[in-house]
Every structure is written in C-alpha cells, then in structure tokens.
Amino acid sequence: MSCPKCGSAETYRKDPRDWLVICDRCKYTFHKHPIKPVLKSEGYKHCGTPKGRYQVTVWFHPYLKFTYSYSISIAGGVLAGSGLPGHKTLFGCYGSPEKALEAGLEEVKNV
C-alpha cells in the first residue's frame, strides 16, 4: 500500500487490526481497512449442508466507524450473498465485536 501524499511504499501499521496507516517517509497518516480481523472463532459443523470446518471472523464495518460485521467460511468456501454493498461477504452491523461474533455463529447453525 502506498502513501496517498508522497506515493512511498514505506508504510506501516502499529497493529494489523488498526485503521491508522503511517508513512515512514513523510510521516503522513491515513486510514485503511485493517488487515486482520477483530475476533475469530473456528469449529466443525456436523449438521446440515455444507458440513466441515467453519470460521467466523469479525471485522470493522467498512462504512460505519465503531460498528462491526462478520464473514463466514465453511468447508473452504466463503459465504457470499446479499451482504453489505460492495462487500458481499460481510454481513450485519453490530455495536460490539462480541455481538457480531454471536450473530455469525448463529448464522453458521442456520446455513
């Protein structure tokens, strides 16, 4: 990722779950969606179709700050559909990461 001010590729985050990106060359700071999820839960789905390992990940909502969305992968595939506009694999808008994780785990049961 390059700096929008000087174009340098020398950028970094203090934490992969952080919005803030810092340019090492010009010290400009800008916001970019985090590269690691806020929360994650894994398990095995024994009932229904598809069966197999699942993973629910909670991300910052791409449009609303201080809210969260979840994504689901089951048996190596990613659940997609009528998710958020421009982000068909992200679902919901929750006030806490725990609520988003809970909703994602409930969705795994219903798929």
Indicate the pTM of the whole model. Answer: 0.74
pLDDT tens profile 62-83:
888 889 999 999 988 888 877 8
Domains annotated on the chain, with CATH: 1-36 (2.20.25), 39-110 (no CATH)
Q: In what order do the strands lie in the sheet with 20-23?
A: 11-12, 20-23, 29-31
pLDDT tens profile 6-65:
999 999 888 777 878 999 999 999 988 777 899 999 999 998 888 999 999 999 888 888
Each residue of 80-103: b (16+ CB within 10 Å) or e? eeebbeebebbbbebeebebbbbb
